[in-house]
């Protein structure tokens, strides 16, 4: 697919352990010629973890995309009227974000961007990363699976013995999922084996 002239919204939420997998996927879009607009949840702005500091992750996002980060609900809201984004990716998409999206809650820049994208009937691609995907969050994932214009990066259990409810997307399939989502299709197979033994 030719990504020249396409604008990709790339939103990150607080599954810090998957950021290192996600950053190269953002670079893939840039290398393919897309304009990438970075969007972050409040957690990214304020939380340092053993996986890296907030400052470092923000710096990487700006350096890779060459764009300022959308980091407030107010700054995310114009994405709707402007129809800026051809596709919006949320990667990683935490259980918290999944549950709020499924229940129409808009309390972060990422969720406002998602609401804006859905308003425009344009593809929203979710790369889930949640320890509760086969627990209470299963019903929220199910709601989103049948929602028009929402597509999932193929996902599976990442540690079925140690964490049987945990689901994580194959982050290296984000671009491929977006390509078919722009055609109104879901990349298949969607449910895959994803063991990290």
pTM, two decimal places: 0.96
Q: What's the pLDDT tens digit per position in 148-190?
A: 999 999 999 998 999 999 999 999 999 999 999 999 999 999 9
Q: Check residue 16 and give its pLDDT.
A: 84
How far is it, in rounded angstroms, from Cα 80 to Cα 152? 21
Rounded CA gap, 35 and 68, in Å? 12
> For 79-94, what is each residue's pLDDT tens digit?
999 999 999 999 999 9
**Rg of the chain, C-alpha, whole Å:** 15
For residue 134, give the nearest of 155, 159, 164, 161 by alpha carbon: 164
Phi, psi (deg, nearest 5) at residue 171: -60, -25
Two tokens, residue 164: 């049987």
Q: How far apart are CA 137 and CA 155, in angstroms?
A: 14
């Amino acid at each position: 697919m030719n990504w020249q002239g396409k604008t990709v919204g790339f939103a990150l939420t607080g599954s810090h352990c998957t950021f290192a997998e996600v950053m190269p996927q953002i670079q893939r879009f840039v290398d393919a010629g897309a304009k990438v607009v970075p969007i972050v949840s409040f957690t990214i702005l304020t939380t340092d973890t053993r996986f890296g500091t907030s400052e470092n992750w923000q710096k990487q996002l700006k350096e890779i995309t060459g764009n300022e980060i959308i980091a407030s609900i107010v700054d995310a809201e114009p994405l709707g009227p402007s129809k800026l984004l051809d596709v919006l990716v949320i990667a990683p998409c935490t259980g918290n974000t999944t549950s709020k999206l499924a229940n129409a809650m808009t309390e972060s820049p990422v969720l406002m961007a998602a609401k804006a994208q859905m308003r425009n009937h344009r593809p929203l691609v979710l790369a889930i990363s949640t320890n509760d995907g086969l627990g209470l969050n299963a019903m929220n994932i199910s709601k989103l699976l049948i929602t028009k214009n929402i597509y999932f990066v193929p996902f599976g259990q990442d540690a079925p013995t140690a964490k049987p409810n945990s689901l994580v997307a194959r982050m290296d399939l984000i671009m491929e999922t977006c390509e078919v989502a722009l055609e109104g299709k879901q990349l298949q197979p969607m449910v895959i084996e994803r063991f990290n033994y």
